[in-house]
Structure 1
Amino acid sequence: MWNLWHGCHKKSEGCLHCYVFRRDGEFGKDSNEVHKTSSFGLPLRRDRSGAYKVSPGTLLWTCFTSDFFIAEADHWRAEAWQMMRQRMDLRFYIVTKRPERIAQSLPHDWAGGYENVTVACTMENQRRADERLPLFVGLPIRHKAIICEPLLERIDFGDWLGDWCEQVTVGGESGSEARACHFDWVLDIRSQCQVAGVPFFFKQT
């Protein structure tokens, strides 16, 4: 896990019971305050022998206590991209609810995307799928994925699914206030993935 900045703003229905806000609230912290963390330089840190502390081949889940494309991080993101370029032996997995900010946030040498970076866009209901898919599909990202978590209702992807999407991940909400995730919604998305030839991964209801 590489949480290089912390803090976010609730953006859509899936954010209602956000685990980051819940956890920060237990310690009296304001999750709306976005700040760099002490882990910012993690990919480049070395041990006493000079070897990287994060071993080659590691998958780093990136920015899971914020959104990588949040506006407050605009001044830090270029350095983050640079670290990803330096560590092409790692894989970075970024999840965002802000596909509308991706194009303006890409580095100058991005071209069609870094080979070691996957960007996943979340869509928790039909409204957000209809809103975010048209923005996300056409972006110049080499590795794209969809995450429907927390899945809040049945989603019809229409004709959007295709070989541009490497995986659709589905999961229910966690925590004591979790909203129901009906298994037939999950099975319906799996069926759509099967028809489109897109890998499907189910986490939890």
Structure 2
Amino acid sequence: CLTSDFFIEEADEWRPEVWRMIKERSDCHFFIITKRINRFLHCIPDDWNDGYDNVSIACTIEDQTQAKLRLPLFNQYPIKHKIIICEPLLEKINLTNYLNDSIIEILVGGESGPNARICDYEWVLDLKSQAESFKIDFTFKQTGANFIKNNKNYKIERRNQLEQAKKANINHRYKEAAYRNKETL
């Protein structure tokens, strides 16, 4: 049920039941990924307070315009575990105005598919540097299908994109997040 954007309007009717199940399963950690962070306050349960211990909310952005629109809202909301996902990463993004102690991770990935737009490794490294400056965990998830590194354009098949990102060996952790020790749903 969480493979789509959990905050879509079409989910308003059944979302309370999902929140009930999430609260009951405190032994599992749930990731809710959204580009609709503007709907957050409308979509959380009455007992949310500052968030559930077993829920991470990830706000997705793909470019600087979306960062400026979504991240100020994201930062003001009561969420215990905040993740910024830059995927598909479509341009160099400056996150420094939005990074603080409440952000636990930045996750980055290029776009997949036959018409994938470019993801430049320099943009990835820049985000890694920003994460390091704030001691925020960083994960380079996937290269995308149209990847530039050292001014060379690589066409990478879907099945190899995660492996190639892992081979870059640039992920880092500053803290052991509680959710990494739980079953993740």
Q: Which runs of structure 2 are paired with 1:51-90 in the superposition (5 Å)?
A: 63-64=2-3, 66-90=4-28
| d(CA) in 2 for partners of 1:93, 1:158 | 24
1:165 and 2:127 are equivalent in the alignment:
no
Aligned residue identity for 1:151: L
Q: Give the equivalent residue in structure 2 for 1:190.
A: 128
Deviation per CA, 1:93-124, whole angstroms, max 9, x where unpaired?
11000010001111011111000000000010
- In the other structure, the counterpart of 2:117 is 179
Instruction: After superposition, give the CA deviation of every residue in 1:11-65 in whole Å (9 maximum; x if it has no partner).
Output: xxxxxxxxxxxxxxxxxxxxxxxxxxxxxxxxxxxxxxxxxxxxxxxxxxxx22x
Match of residue 86 from structure 2: 148
1:121 equivalenced with 2:59 (yes/no): yes
Q: Over aligned residue pairs, what C-alpha RMSD do you find?
A: 0.8
What amino acid does structure 1 have at the position aligned with 2:37?
P
How high is the sequence identity, in percent, across the aligned residues? 52
Q: How many residues align?
A: 143
Match of 2:147 in 1: none
User: What is the deviation of 1:197?
Assistant: 1.2
Give unmatched runs, 5+ long, in structure 1: 5-62
The TM-score normalised by the length of structure 1 is: 0.68
Q: Does structure 1 residue 91 correspond to structure 2 residue 52?
A: no
CA distance in 2, matches of 1:141, 1:158: 19
Q: Is the 8 A contact 1:162 1:197 kept in 2?
A: no
Q: Residue type matched to 1:173 in 2? A: E
CA displacement at 1:164 relative to structure 2: 0.5
Greater strand fraction, Structure 1 or Structure 2? 2
Asked if structure 2 preserves the Cα contact closer than 8 Å seen for 1:148 and 1:171, the reply is yes
Q: Which residue of 1 aligns with 2:43?
A: 105
TM-score normalised by L of structure 2: 0.76
Secondary structure, in 3 states, of the residue corresponding to 1:75?
Answer: coil
Q: Which residue is 2:169 aligned to?
A: none
Between the aligned partners of 1:160 and 1:122, the Cα distance in structure 2 is: 13
1:202 aligned counterpart, secondary structure: strand
Structure 2: give runs of 5+ residues left out of the alignment. 144-185
- Whole-angstrom distance in 2 between the partners of 1:157 and 1:84: 30
